Amino acid sequence: MAMVDLILWPGTKICQMLGIDPEKDMGLIRSMFNMLVYATVILFAMWAFMW
């Protein structure tokens, strides 16, 4: 598994669960899901380590 596949894995799995082709529209839907996942993780990590 390439590093890119590892980074894009959360968005790919969410798209597959919703029945959306992750490669459709050049991967923009997959990128949106990745942004939501990683933003949530980073914000939670920042909140946890600041306290």
In this predicted model, what pLDDT tens digit does every residue of 9-42 receive, in sequence order? 999 999 999 999 998 888 999 999 999 999 999 9
Whether residue 31 contacts residue 11, with contact meaning beta carbons closer than 8 Å, is answered with yes
Secondary structure letter of residue 19 according to DSSP = T
- Nearest in space to 15 (alpha carbons), one of 4, 7, 24: 24
User: Which of the four pLDDT bands, split at 50, 70 and 90, describes residue 51?
Assistant: confident
Cβ neighbours, 10 Å, residue 16: 12
pLDDT digits (tens, 9 = 90+) for 31-40: 999 999 999 9
Residue 8 is inside which H or E element, if any?
none
Residue 2 is predicted with a pLDDT of 92
Report the predicted TM-score, pTM, of the whole model to 2 decimal places.
Answer: 0.83
In Å, how far are 1, 17, 49 from 9, measured between CA atoms? 10, 12, 25
- Residue ranges per domain, the chain? 3-50
